[in-house]
Every structure is written in structure tokens, then in C-alpha cells.
Amino acid sequence: MNTLYTTIRRGQETRSRIIETLRDGMTREELAKASGLTYEQVRNQTLTLVNEGAIVSRMDGRKRRYYRKSLVMMLISCALLEFYMPEWGKSRFVRTSSSISATLR
């Protein structure tokens, strides 16, 4: 039986693999093929990565394409949000920064 820790660790490994594999403009199908992950794994983790701000998605005709964000741009975005939206809270900034760093390791 998988523990929550095991599940989270596998998710982090999967997200790291996606970020390492991602070349700008790849679709989920291309990511799954290039990374050796299942489509379901890529679908679930690209949603998480987009929500974390580690990658962005854009529609290109009928296909959704994914792009990496640079670490510097992610940290600047978090800092600007913290500055202009103090209610956003420091805990969110710390959590997001830690999550980004863990994903890029």
C-alpha cells in the first residue's frame, strides 16, 4: 500500500522528469512519448505544474502546447505578487518557492 509520502515523492519525480524533458511548444502526447511516462501521468502533472507556475500552456489551434518558465521569472512573479498583494501571504510565497526549487532539482 502506498503512503501519502510515497505518492507525493513519485509526483515530484514525475514533475521533475516532465520539466527535464519539456522542450518549448510540446503537447502532452509529445511529452508522454519523449519522457516515457503515461499520458495520464503527464496530464495530471502538467496541471499541477501550470498551477504552480513552473510551466505555462497556450492553445495553438486545436492543440495545447506547454512552455518552461525560467526560475528567475518564477521568483520575480512570486515577489511581485507578494509586494502588490500582501494578503497573498508569505507562507504561499515560501511554499511556491520551495516547490519550484524541489521540482528543478
- CATH classification of the domain holding 38: 1.10.10.10
> What's the number of domains the chain is made of?
1
How many angstroms separate the CA atoms of 52 and 94, rounded? 12
For the stretch 12-45, pLDDT in tens is 888 889 988 998 889 999 999 999 999 999 999 9
What's 92's DSSP letter?
H
For the stretch 84-105, pLDDT in tens is 776 655 554 454 555 555 555 5
- Model pLDDT, residue 53: 83
- Model pLDDT, residue 31: 96
Are 85 and 77 in contact by the 8 Å Cβ rule? The answer is no
How many angstroms separate the CA atoms of 93 and 99, rounded? 10
- Model pLDDT, residue 27: 96
Establish how many alpha carbons lie within 13 A of residue 58's alpha carbon, considering only the half-sphere containing its beta carbon.
7
Domain range holding 71? 4-104
